[in-house]
A and B are shown apart, each in its own frame.
Chain A
Amino acid sequence: MLESLRRQVKRRTWRSVALLLLVVLVLAATYLSLVGQNAARGRHIQQLQSEYFRLRRENAQLEVKIAQASSIETLQRRAVEELGMEVVPPERMEFFVPLE
C-alpha cells in the first residue's frame, strides 16, 4: 500500500516536472520566435530605410541634373548653337501687347 502510494507520488512528480519543462520549452520557443520576428522586421525596416535614403539621393541627383539641363546658360547655348537663334539687343526688340 505504502509502496504503491510512493510510486504514485513519484509518477506525479515526474509528470509535474515534465509539464513544467514543456511549459518552459513552449515559452522559450515563443520568446525565440518573437525575437526572431522582431529581428526580421527590424531588418526589413532597415532595408526600407536604406532604400528610402538611396532613392532620396537618386532623386536629389536627378533634380540637379534636370536643373543643369534647363539652366539659362544651357538653354541659351543650345538655342544659339543648335537652333541657330541669336540674342536680340534691346534696340531691335519689339513687343506685341495683346488686349485683355
Chain B
Amino acid sequence: MLEGPRRRVRLAEFVLIVLTLIVVAQLVQVQVLDAGFYRAWAAEQRERRITLDDPPRGVIRDRNGHLLAGNVVVYSVEATPSQVLDPVETARVLEGWLHTPRAQIQAELESDKLWVLLAPQVSKEIGDQIAEQELPGITVRPRWARAYPEGSLAAHVLGFCNVAGEGFYGVEGFHDMALRPRRIEREGPVDLFSQPVPWTVLPVVLPESGDALVLSLDRTIQAMVEQELAQAVMAYQADGGTIIVMDTRTFEILAMASLPNYDPGRYQEFVREDLSASVLPFTDPAISEQYEPGSVFKVLTVAAALDAGVVSPETTYYDPGWMEVGGVPIHNSSPDLQGEYTVADILIHSLNVGAAWLSTRMGADTFYHYLLGFGVGQRTGVDLAGEATGQVWTPNDYAYWHDANLGTNAFGQGVAVTPLQMITAVATVANGGERLRPYVVARRIAPDGTEFTHQRRVEAQVISPETAQQVAEIMVRTVDEAIPEAQVAGYRVAGKTGTAQIPVPGGYDPQGTIASFVGFGPWPEPQVVILVKLDRPRTSPWASHTAAPTFQRVMTRLFGMLRIPPQDVDMAQVVVP
C-alpha cells in the first residue's frame, strides 16, 4: 500500500479506537459508576405507591342489628385538561349533571392545569351516568361517604364522621380508631395512567373495613324516647332536655336522647362561623353538660347517712323549717314544711333542712366519701367522646370549699353533675349498691369475625345491699305518697323529683329552673332506670308538673316494649279449643 493511504487508514483506526474508548468509558460511567442514580430515576418514573381500593369505615348497629351508621358511595368528578378532546362538548354534557355553569366547566377544561377537580361529591347515580359517557379526559372516582339511615335518631350517641373519614363526638369519636378501615399500600410499577401493571402476581391481600360496633341502644326505645322528649319540650315550653334509659342490672344504655339535636348525615349544615364550638349542637348534653341536680341528690345523701349507720329510715328529727350551716340559712321549699319528720320523710316531702341535717350529722369526711363513691365529680367512663367530670368541692379543696357547702350539697346545690352521672348514681341504688361502668358499645366485631364483648366492670360497692333496699323502698313510697304524676298504672316504681335553680354569675337565675326526675322500676325487681331532665320549662317550674309526667309516659311505654307484665294484672287462662 502507498504511504499516503496507509497513514489515512491508521488515522481512521486511531479515531475509531478513541471513539470506541469514549463509548466504553461512557458505558462504564452510566452502567457502573452512576448505575444507582439511573436505577432510582427509572424506578421513580415507573413505580408508584399504589393504594388498593379504600375499604369502608366500620358500621354501627343497634342491639337488634338495625343499621345506625353505614357507608354509601359518592363520586368525585375530575379532569385531565390535556386529554380532553372537545372541551366545548364535554362542558355541555357535564353541565346538567354537575349543576355548574357551562362556561366555568369549559374554562377549567381549557386551562393549563394538569388536573382539575370538577365536582368533589356527586351521587352514585350521577357518577354512573357520567362514567357511561366515557368522555375523554374525564375521570369519575368513587369514594366512601358516611350515611345515617335513621336520620337524626341517636345523633348525640353516634356523633358524626367528616369527609376525610375522621370520627367526632359520641361513638364515632370515641371508637374512631377501631372504626377506621385498614388501607393496604405497596410499591409497584404503573402505566401511563398510574394504573398498576400486572407484571408479577402478588399475594392477594384485600384491604379490610373497620370494626363493626353493636350498641346497647334499642332503636325502637330510642325513637320512643326521642318522641316523648320532643313532646315534653314542646308541651312544657322548655329550652331543651335529656332523657336516658339504662338497664339497672348491667348499666347498659338502652336509649339516650337530648334536644336540641342534629342530623349527623348533614352535620355541615349545623356548623356556623358565628357560633363557638360550645353552642354547636354536636356536644351531647347527656354526658357533657353539667347542672345542679337539686333534690334528686337527696337520694345520695339519705343513702350515705343510712349506710354510715348515722340514722335509720324511722329515725325522727324536728324540722324547724330552716337551719343555718356555715353561716348560710337553708329553708325548706315551703314554710308549711316544719315539725317532726322521719328520715324517710326527707325524700317523701323533699326536705332541704332534713338533708342538711343528715350531712352535718355525718360530717364532711363521711358525706364526701360517699359522694365520691357514687361517682360524683368523676367521669363515669362511658365509651362516648366528650364526657365532662362534673364538679364537687371537698374540704381538701380548701380554696373553694366552705362550711356551707356541707349543707347545700346535701340537697343538690353547689354541686354539678352530668345527667349520666346522676342516673348512674341512682342506678347504683337500684343495683344493690354496686356501681358499674355504664356503656354504649356492647360488642366489637373485627372483619375476620372475631368478637369482643363488653366486660362488666364494677367501679365500687358504694353502699350495702341492705341500705340500697331501704333507700329504694323510701323512693317507692315517695312516688306512691307524694308524686302521683310519676305513678305508672299496674306497676310500682321508685323515684325522686329535682327542681333546681340555675346558677348564674352572682347567684341564681330567678327566671328558670332545671326540672328533673330519676326513677326505676318495676319494684321490687327493677330492670330499668330513667332520667328525665327539662331545661327551663315555662308552663311550670316544678319537676312534679313537668319531668315526673314525662317519666310516667316513658316508663309506661317502656314496660310495654320490654314486655314486663303489670303487677296487678289478672292473669287469665286462655283455653284454646
Contact = CB atoms under 8 A, between A and B. Distances in A.
Interface in A33-81: 35, 38-43, 45-46, 49-50, 52-53, 56-57, 60-61, 63-64, 66-68, 70-73, 76
A92 B562 CA distance: 18
Contacts of A35: 199
Contacts of A99: 571-574
Nearest to B565: A97
Interface stretch (B142-150, B271-279, B285-293, B504-512): B142-150
A39 B73 CA distance: 30
Nearest to A37: B201
A53 B204 CA distance: 13
B150 A93 contact: no
B400 to A, nearest CB: 44
B149 A64 contact: yes
Interface string B54-73: 01100100000011001111
Interface in B538-577: 552-553, 556-557, 559-560, 563, 565-566, 569, 571-574
A72 B56 contact: no
Given A49-B204, A90-B556, A97-B571, A67 B67 contact: yes
Secondary structure call for the B interface: loop
A63 to B, nearest CB: 6
B73 A57 contact: yes
Interface string B211-236: 00000000110010000000000000
Nearest to B569: A97
A43 B195 CA distance: 11
A46 B206 CA distance: 11
Contacts of A57: 73, 142
A45 B198 contact: yes
Contacts of B52: 49
A68 B223 CA distance: 15
Contacts of B560: 93, 95
Nearest to A93: B560
B70 A60 contact: yes
B196 interface: yes
Contacts of A67: 66-67, 70, 149-150
Q: How large is the interface on A (under 10, 10 to 19, 20 to 34, 35 or more residues)?
A: 20 to 34
Contacts of B450: none
A34 B154 CA distance: 57
A70 B573 CA distance: 36
Given A38-B199, A45-B204, A90 B553 contact: yes
Given A67-B150, A72-B223, A60 B202 contact: no
Contacts of B73: 57, 60-61
Contacts of B206: 49, 52
A65 to B, nearest CB: 8
B71 A71 contact: no
A42 B201 contact: yes
A63 B209 CA distance: 15
A72 B153 contact: yes
A52 B207 CA distance: 11
Given A39-B199, A42-B198, A95-B565, A61 B150 contact: no
Nearest 6 A/B pairs, CB to CB: A42-B198, A67-B149, A67-B67, A97-B565, A53-B53, A90-B556
28 contacts: A38-B199, A39-B199, A41-B198, A42-B198, A42-B199, A42-B200, A45-B201, A49-B52, A52-B206, A56-B55, A60-B56, A60-B72, A63-B59, A63-B70, A64-B71, A67-B66, A67-B150, A72-B150, A72-B153, A72-B219, A72-B220, A72-B223, A73-B150, A90-B556, A93-B560, A95-B565, A97-B563, A97-B571
Interface of A: 35, 38-43, 45-46, 49-50, 52-53, 56-57, 60-61, 63-64, 66-68, 70-73, 76, 89-90, 93, 95, 97-99
Given A38-B198, A42-B199, A70-B66, 9 more contacts: A39-B199, A45-B201, A57-B142, A64-B71, A66-B67, A73-B151, A73-B223, A89-B553, A98-B574
